[in-house]
Amino acid sequence: MRSIRSVLHSLKPQKRVLIIGSAFVDMVINVQEMPRAGADVEGDYRCTTVGGCSFNVADVLYKLDLPFESYMPVGEGRFADLVAQALTERGYPVHREAGEGDNGWCLSLADASGERTFISMFGLERRMKPDWFERFDIESFDYLYVSGYQAEGENGRVILEALSRKRPDAVVVFDPGPRVHFMPRERVEDFCRLGCLFTVNADEALFMTGTTRVEDAALRLHDMSGRDAVVTDGGRGAIVADNASVRRIPGFPVAIVDTIGSGDAHTGGVIAGLMCGLPIDECVLLANRVASVVTGREGGACAPTIDELLTEHC
């Protein structure tokens, strides 16, 4: 496998990507420890920023100067206006859906260890309509990203209906995230039938597969969908399972600030490599590097540029 520097110098887009999902408002608060029932803890308010899984994934491609298309619906209201402003500033399309309410927002709590806990108030990004996808030629995309936050309930059914129009060789990159704990097994199986490429963390992988070893979980996810599977394992890097083997791709040392958006950044790194035609191991090496930088920064949507990644300390 090549060095991360060689991988970065070979990022030349070859495939078309569509990012489907949410952009909503994050209010980031640091706490010493997560409050228990009845407790009163002091918080340190850090910032209000636009985030969301899809926005964070898009941030990686944007910072790496890679082209993509996105559908992150924008409603009407104070949070929707903040989202629209952020999308416009980056040159992303602003798809306003009138009469469907505001965008969602989230309290993002980060404790002294950097671990994050979310309190989410969902908006129109969980009330998508079939006709919203008519503006896209789904068959023209090679990779399509979906987060578990949009895959539940009727919203998930609408997205699956749109994804059913993809080409047989196109790949759905699916990150179920923490919502997998609330997602019916049948919904996960729906994505498996699409032949999705799973990107999940170790805890989620173990839960999804009922296994006790991360390597076994990655292999099981590969068997479930028939595609490569990527399982992040904190500072220990990430596990890749494909038709050849199960193997660990090393991570990069980092002083943890918080883990907000780190998983999304990792998925974005994987997609960046895939759309540039890199082998899966190099895709994951790139993702490990991107995610390590995000973990060392505050908040989400803080992915590094190529120039920053090429420096020794970014």
* Listed residue (47, 48, 54, 49) closest to 23, CA to CA: 54
- Pairing mode, strands 197-201 and 229-232: parallel
Residue whose tokens read 């009727």: 154
Residue 229: CA count within 13 A, CB half-sphere: 30
**In the numeric block, which tokens belong to residue 146?**
């979906």
Question: Of 190, 242, 264, 281, which is the active-site residue?
Answer: 264
User: Could you tell me which residues come within 8 angstroms of residue 32 by beta carbon, excluding any fewer than 6 positions away?
Assistant: 41, 42, 111, 112
In angstroms, rounded to a whole number, what is the distance separating the alpha carbons of residues 7 and 82? Answer: 35
Amino acid at 311: T
Nearest to 260 by CA among 129, 122, 120, 158: 120
* Among 86, 127, 126, 122, residue whose Cα is nearest residue 107: 122
Respond yes or no: is residue 264 known to be catalytic: yes
CA 263 to chain centre: 6
Q: Which two tokens stand for residue 190?
A: 């729906």
Q: Report which of 159, 190, 138, 171 is spatially closest to residue 283, judged by C-alpha positions.
A: 171
Q: List, by residue number, the catalytic residues.
A: 264
